[in-house]
Copies of this chain bind each other. A is one copy, B any other.
Amino acid sequence: MLTGTSILGARRGSQTGATFHGINPATGEELQPAYISASAEEIDAAVKLAEEAFASYSKLSNQKRAQFLRSIAEGLESIRDQVIERANLETALPAARLQGEMARTANQMRLFADVVEEGSWVNACIDTADAERKPLPKPDLRSMLQPLGPVVVFGASNFPLAFSVAGGDTASALAAGNPVVVKAHPAHPGTSELVGNVIRDCVKANGLHEGVFSLIFDSGIEAGTRLVKHPLIKAVGFTGSLKGGRALMDLAASRPDPIPVYAEMGSTNPVFILPGAIEQYDKIAAGLTGSFTAGAGQMCTKPGLVFLPPKDESANLVADLRQRVADLPGFTMLTPGIAAQYRRGVTQRSGADGARLVSGFAPDSGGAGTTAALLEADAEQILNQPELSEEIFGPTTLLVRYSSREQMLEAARGLEGHLTAAVLGTEEDLATHQDLIAILERKVGRLIFNGYPTGVEVCHAMIHGGPYPATSDGRSTSVGSQAIFRFARPVSYQNMPQLALPEALKDGNPLRLLRKVNGKMTQDPIWG
């Protein structure tokens, strides 16, 4: 059933060329079939098809676009077991986790379908004319969001479904009315093809232009580079490493016409344990261990830096954490390369960088197998060695005991941008730490109280973003309904007759949108 070829609209890519294989990280076994890297011509063809598709897809009715997104959700669910089986083989992520991710991916498509069907997301604004105004008559002006054009989406290694071929970037870009070309992550090509086939079938079944969706395979960075530099590409979605994301940012910024890059590049997600929380040390130890080892620590929201009250106060918590980490079974990571990088990172941090290994970690485990590692450092060290707060992708976290409230605040002030920060404590702690909250508000996209950062709710109020280096663009979110705003731009129409106005802006308000008319939000039509 799997062909190993790229999807170029309605046709398939060449069956010859350089090949690569998915690898079962648990066994090191090569998975069949071989995948063929797309050629420069194929990439160009996919982008040109996307550009061709834009004319009709961008004007598709809200209802039909919503129907298309829902059909993808249904299509995914119809081959759920097959997808999960393949994803498990390619990533070693447990079936239970993949089931949750599959549900999330389908629900995400449905959330965007709802947003598109309701339609008010386009932010329709109407200022009506006033011919009598002095000194000059006031023109009629109407604005709304319009899609950008073909979007490239890069699949992520750590979420083979929710941040890959049919993930949040694809869903939001399609929802906004943009054709999408996905560059599959080479670590899970089979999963990508299965999901890509579903979207391709839905394009056809919904009678859409074939160019609405293509899927490109490549083992290296060539195809991605070519896509980001392609003159017809208008935006980029990416989830992955800081190094990879920054490379795409620099590439896009150096184009003759720079384009937006939405790169979610992970972070260390600092956790602040305030004095009042420490009584419940066993609950915290359990919650924290669960969070930093979830998905073998391969989550962009993994809490990798934990600030604790001074030594005596947090002794029980540290002892409990040490025991829990010592008791953990081993993990199989996504790829042997990621595992090797994890081991190097922990070895470096607990060696040359001067942090102490508190519990866990067997540096000799080979292949994709590895073990969790609990590290500790002094607050002084964190202040002087900012590299200690950089992300190590994998099941490790760094405990830092602050010696005073002022030192904790200083450490917070020194933080770079992160996706999240969490504060554990009583309401009383919170009342006496408003200064900490004010500092963290500027550093993150999401601020959590008495909870852990993993588990990103897909809803309207979710912001999965944060200042650089957490993301390339701290004004955006890659999860939740607001992700749609990334792939649209406002256009204003001046004195345009009804016949040439988009439906969203017509006097009669045929779409029944909530619109801003002369400064007031209303669903009423405009009376002539």
A interface with B by C-beta (< 8 Å): 55, 59, 100, 114, 120, 125-127, 135-136, 138-139, 141-143, 146, 148-149, 249-250, 253-254, 257-260, 416-417, 427, 430-431, 434, 437-438, 441-442, 444-451, 455, 457, 459-463, 465, 467-469, 472-477, 482, 488-497, 499-500, 514, 516, 518-519, 521
A516 to B120, CA, bound (A): 12
- A260 touches which of B141, B427, B475 (Cβ 8 Å): B475
Minimum CB distance partner of A519 in chain B: B460
Residues from chain B with a CB closer than 8 A to the CB of A139 are 451, 457
**Assuming A127-B457, A143-B463, A460-B125, is B490 touching A445 (CB within 8 A)?**
yes
A475 to B472, CA, bound (A): 15
Minimum CB distance partner of A99 in chain B: B135
A83 to B223, CA, bound (A): 56
- A495 touches which of B114, B141, B448 (Cβ 8 Å): B448
A447 B258 Cβ-Cβ under 8 A = no
| Max chain B C-beta neighbours (<10 A), residue from A254, A427, A447, A468 | A447
- 4 A-B pairs with least C-beta separation: A463-B492, A253-B253, A125-B461, A141-B461
A200 to B500, CA, bound (A): 47
**Assuming A459-B141, A475-B260, is B449 touching A494 (CB within 8 A)?**
yes
**Assuming A125-B460, A521-B521, is B417 touching A257 (CB within 8 A)?**
yes
Residues from chain B with a CB closer than 8 A to the CB of A491 are 441, 444-447, 463
**Assuming A427-B499, A497-B430, is B465 touching A489 (CB within 8 A)?**
yes
**Assuming A457-B141, A475-B488, is B499 touching A430 (CB within 8 A)?**
yes
A489 B474 Cβ-Cβ under 8 A = yes
Minimum CB distance partner of A438 in chain B: B55
CB distance from A389 to the nearest CB of B (A): 15
B141 A516 Cβ-Cβ under 8 A = no
- A447 touches which of B437, B444, B494 (Cβ 8 Å): B494
A482 B143 Cβ-Cβ under 8 A = yes
**Assuming A125-B482, A253-B253, A431-B499, is B519 touching A514 (CB within 8 A)?**
no
Minimum CB distance partner of A147 in chain B: B442
A135 B499 Cβ-Cβ under 8 A = no
CB distance from A125 to the nearest CB of B (A): 4
CB distance from A262 to the nearest CB of B (A): 11
Residues from chain B with a CB closer than 8 A to the CB of A254 are 253
Given contacts A127-B462, A460-B516, could you give 13 more A-B pairs where the C-beta distance is less than 8 Å? A55-B438, A120-B521, A127-B460, A143-B461, A249-B253, A257-B417, A431-B500, A437-B500, A447-B493, A448-B495, A449-B500, A451-B494, A521-B521
A450 B490 Cβ-Cβ under 8 A = no
Residues from chain B with a CB closer than 8 A to the CB of A259 are 468
Minimum CB distance partner of A146 in chain B: B441
A158 to B397, CA, bound (A): 55
CB distance from A144 to the nearest CB of B (A): 9
A100 B475 Cβ-Cβ under 8 A = no
A496 B447 Cβ-Cβ under 8 A = yes
Minimum CB distance partner of A124 in chain B: B461
- A258 touches which of B444, B468, B475 (Cβ 8 Å): B468
A135 to B143, CA, bound (A): 42
